[in-house]
Structure 1
Amino acid sequence: MTLNRRAFLTSTAAGVAAAAIPTRFAIGNTAKIKIGVMMPFTGTFASLGEMGANGLKLALAMQGNRLGGREVEFVILDDESEPSRAPANATRLVKSDGVDVLFGTVHSGVAMGMVKVARETGALLVIPNAGVGAATGALCAPNIFRTSFTNWQPAFPMGKIAYERGYRKIVSMTWKYGAGEEAIAGFKEGFEAAGGAVIKEITVPFPNVEFQANLAEIAALKPDAVFTFFAGGGAVKFVKDYAAAGLKQSIPLLGSGFLTEGTLAAQGDAAEGILTTLHYADGLDASANQSFRAAFAQAYGKEADIYAVQGFDAGLLLSQGFSAVKGDTTNRPALYAAMERAVIDSPRGLMTFSPSHNPVQDIYLRKVRNGQNEVIGIAARNLSDPARGCKMTG
């Protein structure tokens, strides 16, 4: 066969015939690009997984469901927010289903399993929510990108804000788990750098929501303010208990934005006046945000949130990357270089990427007024995570 092929290519006629046969890439270019969507679709984080996946799908629908000219196919897997199964699930998507891109997830423990598989297999991983610092820190890699935040990133600017508002002694409180501990550490770094002191760090077992003893301790300590990291149902319970304990009027409550993100309706009047910092707010006055929210509501019949924004931006990032290589999934160096250079006109505002592939983005100062997270300022402009331990190679 080798000799015959060489003989063929010595003749003009055979050369023309050979030219009519698609090249290896051209054959591959007719195939669909597979995206393995590994998100929680059941359990506590089901709504977050659905919103993130729908944000991704909306972004690609706006591109005709194509990346670099190639059709997109989604392979959906419910990760159930179960870290122990994450490596096997991600491996199945890459090796059995043959996905070109891993997209996920919400739970930081599951994300770490996906990071492990991405580093071992070289698969492209885009993280649309999980804020675990190591993914773009000590375990950073050329094929790992994030379109959300690190747990440090929204919390750190609140330290300076708190000091500027005259607070000098603060108590922090969170669940004893990775996301909470990283967020508290970020706030503490910013607050102590400004000159303040965290006089007590309170942690409670995850997902415990019995806070009465802790609130009594806070009342006895009499700090200038309290900084917290809670989310979901725990955030609802904490905010309501804090107000019921009579602390709201005397000790201001501050938080990473997830304290009041998606929880305000359930928190009611107890949330009024709470200050938070986050990389998005529903009412941001930007044309990209307004058009995105309108398109999302039309497509899915519900209002978008931060989780939808982060999934949407993942789609925009993939679109820029694959457009640069015309859909060639084999040209990884050029694909990653294009993604590194990407400038995303996000609903949150313009977003770029740090050398560790984490978003460089504005962090907004928000205050709860009349049941809404209103933007009252910018806590930090173009904030980049320090990516401690990241040694990018490849």
Structure 2
Amino acid sequence: MKNTLNYKGFTRKFRQIALAGIAGALVSGGAFAAEPVKLGVMLPYTGTYAALGDAITKGLELAINENGGKLGGRDVEFVTIDSEANPGKAPQNMNRLINGEAADVVIGPVHSGVAMGMLKMARQEGAIMIIPNAGLNAATRQFCAPNIFRTSFSAWQTAYPMGKMAYEKGYRKIATIAWNYSFGKESLEAFEEGFKAAGGEIVKQFLTPFPKVEFQAYLTEIASLKPDAVFAFYAGGGAVKFVKDYDAAGIKKSIPLLGSGFMTDGTLTAQGQSAEGVMTTLHYTETLDNAKNKAFQQAYQDAYGATADIYSVQGYDAGQMLVQALASLKGDTSDKDAFIKALAAVKIDSPRGPWHFSKAHNPVQNMYLREVKNGENVVVKIAAEAVDDPATGCTMAQ
């Protein structure tokens, strides 16, 4: 369905039937139809991940609104589909956006399982796809393609740097734990790679059933192992329960808790005092002290009456990417190869800090070591500068 929702400061503009005689506009000596740039957006607007889809959409719209609501001088039409975070519906929904709606660009999803279905269709049809969240490594590794971009992260990027940080903290033996699904396992593998490279040892890995949140038996065994620290990946409600249970088990002081940043992003209010002192690595936090982030946070607050989070930033940067690329093309999307080349060449001044695309079209970006202090994720230091995913299996990166 076409979503006609309006947000403060921005009105979605939909294609209008051209009046007779108004056939096109001249741009750079060539002609193309005077129609809006059509953005197909497939994000979750209901269910567990609805808040994430909403934040990404608002960030995307804010970037375009800051450019006068246009891309390359053209109006913008949004065609939105609720992904429902349902992988089974992804191919059909993607086909609708590509072939039914003839979207110039498809933006989505949040869920990595949905991304797999979208990626297959994008590769098959040659459709330009921008991923504003899903972190599955495969998107910019074995399933990379010139027409596929990501403005968020890979699972590897968010966990690998913590390995070195943990070793620098003096930890030598660590237990790891995560939900038993692809992103959880990829996160543990990345941490282990970084920790072992620094000289550390993984004493045991625990994989817990997804999406169950019964952790007591695992925490009892961790206490008996007495590792120097624990590295964990959980998100959302699972992260809230794990962090509270970890604290309640009485082991946080003797066995510090580390994690991928999603464990304390969007969860701190619910975690309360239990999250204090937890250290994570991620490519953003709301408290980053740079001019771009301060301006972005203020603009987001003014537009939506809320604090922008990591998902808002990833949507915002997808919008910035489109603004910059289409400005260089003066709005002409008729040459897909030229459009792809323009997208690949963007350099983004982001609230997270400046970044650019790798050869595999994944952000080359800083990862920050963060510690929860007084209910906020506070940056301790840059854990790793300009982190580039290895892009294993991506032929573009060879």
Shift of 1:22: 5.3
Structure 1 range deviating more: 334-343 or 346-355: 334-343
CA distance in 1, matches of 2:204, 2:355: 35
1:218-257 to 2 correspondence within 5 Å? 218-257=222-261
1:292 aligns with 2:296: yes
Q: TM-score, normalised by structure 1?
A: 0.93
CA distance in 1, matches of 2:126, 2:333: 12
The partner residue of 2:394 within 387, 390, 393 is: 390
CA distance in 2, matches of 1:29, 1:331: 13
Runs of 4+ in 1 over 2 A off after TM superposition: 20-29
The partner residue of 1:53 within 54, 57, 75 is: 57
Amino acid aligned to 2:89: R
SS class of match (1:109): helix
The partner residue of 1:349 within 353, 367, 377 is: 353
Asked whether the equivalents of residues 325 and 331 of structure 1 are also in contact (C-alpha less than 8 Å), the reply is: no
1:101-120 to 2 correspondence within 5 Å? 101-120=105-124
Matched residue, 2:344: 340
Asked whether the equivalents of residues 226 and 254 of structure 1 are also in contact (C-alpha less than 8 Å), the reply is: yes
The superposition leaves residues 116-170 of structure 1 with CA deviations (integer Å, 9 ceiling, x where unpaired) of 1110111110000000011111010000000000011010000001011111111
Matched residue, 2:3: none
The superposition leaves residues 179-201 of structure 1 with CA deviations (integer Å, 9 ceiling, x where unpaired) of 11111111000000001011111
Asked whether the equivalents of residues 346 and 356 of structure 2 are also in contact (C-alpha less than 8 Å), the reply is: yes
Amino acid aligned to 1:232: G
Change (3 A) 1:241 1:33: same
Change (3 A) 1:23 1:66: closer
Change (3 A) 1:383 1:260: same
Amino acid aligned to 1:279: H
Matched residue, 1:5: none
The superposition leaves residues 34-75 of structure 1 with CA deviations (integer Å, 9 ceiling, x where unpaired) of 101100000000000100011001101111121111111000
1:264-275 to 2 correspondence within 5 Å? 264-275=268-279
The superposition leaves residues 225-282 of structure 1 with CA deviations (integer Å, 9 ceiling, x where unpaired) of 0000100000000000000001111100000000000100000010000000000011
1:369 aligns with 2:373: yes
Shift of 1:28: 3.3
Change (3 A) 1:64 1:200: same
Matched residue, 2:13: none
1:313 aligns with 2:296: no
Amino acid aligned to 1:50: D
Matched residue, 2:216: 212
1:94-243 to 2 correspondence within 5 Å? 94-243=98-247
Asked whether the equivalents of residues 324 and 335 of structure 1 are also in contact (C-alpha less than 8 Å), the reply is: no
CA distance in 2, matches of 1:87, 1:65: 30
SS class of match (1:67): coil
- Structure 1 stretches lacking a partner, 5+ long: 1-19
CA distance in 2, matches of 1:350, 1:73: 28
- Structure 2 stretches lacking a partner, 5+ long: 1-21
Instruction: Report the structure number with the largest CA radius of gyration.
Output: 1
Change (3 A) 1:212 1:22: closer
CA distance in 1, matches of 2:120, 2:317: 23
1:322 aligns with 2:320: no
The partner residue of 2:93 within 66, 89, 93 is: 89
Asked whether the equivalents of residues 29 and 327 of structure 1 are also in contact (C-alpha less than 8 Å), the reply is: no
SS class of match (2:204): strand
Asked whether the equivalents of residues 141 and 392 of structure 2 are also in contact (C-alpha less than 8 Å), the reply is: yes
> What is the number of equivalent residue pairs in this alignment?
374
Matched residue, 1:79: 83
CA distance in 1, matches of 2:166, 2:150: 28
CA distance in 2, matches of 1:27, 1:324: 16
Amino acid aligned to 2:213: V
Task: Please tell me the root mean square deviation across aligned C-alpha atoms, in Å.
Answer: 1.5
CA distance in 1, matches of 2:120, 2:215: 35
Change (3 A) 1:66 1:209: same
CA distance in 2, matches of 1:131, 1:359: 11
Change (3 A) 1:23 1:288: closer
Asked whether the equivalents of residues 137 and 156 of structure 2 are also in contact (C-alpha less than 8 Å), the reply is: yes
